[in-house]
Amino acid sequence: MGGLFATSELSVHSFIDGLAIGFGFEADIHIGIIIAIAVICHDFTDGLSTVTVMLNSGNTLVNSLRMLFLDAVAPVLGAVVTLFIQVPQYYIVVLLPFFAGGFLYLGASDLLPEAHEKNPQILTVISCVAGFILIFVLTYLLSDVLAI
């Protein structure tokens, strides 16, 4: 039973990621593609977290893989749900920054302090700057490719 609550939360989080993808496509195909790429990259770490939490909580490999499957299907279900929900464009303009703000909040409040706590400060700063540069370059390149 241990680990099920935490991994269920990750699956709910992944479902919400799927909603973000679907709403992104409702706003504009280019926004949807960018959100989908970001969520897909992000969900690899969610999958690793799911299996790690399940195994460290004493669950079997089979149960861990079941939760991994649930976590992998959740964003697809979230995106599919948006096909049946028609949200007015002016709400989507509010929803997408809400999702972005949630990602920024989690990164700033949970991930960054933990990175500073467990790693040398210079390594954390270099990694953050490298990540910023990578995202900037990818956004610049994708904006040319997708004609945003």
pLDDT tens-digit map of 30-89: 888 888 988 888 888 788 888 888 888 888 899 889 999 999 999 999 999 999 988 887
CA 7 vs. chain centroid, Å, equals 14
The predicted pLDDT at position 101 comes to 79
Domain that holds residue 126: 4-146
Average pLDDT estimate for 95-99: 78
d(CA 95, CA 104): 14
Number of domains in the chain: 1
Q: Report the phi/psi class of residue 87: left, alpha or beta, with left for phi > 0 and alpha for psi in -120 to 50.
A: beta
Nearest CA to 35 out of 82, 71, 85, 1 is that of 82
DSSP 8-state symbol, 136: H
Q: Which two tokens stand for residue 78?
A: 């979230």
Q: Please answer whether residues 20 and 35 qualify as being in contact, where contact means their C-beta atoms are separated by less than 8 angstroms.
A: yes
The pLDDT tens digits of the residues spanning 52-62 come to 888 888 888 99
SS3 141: helix
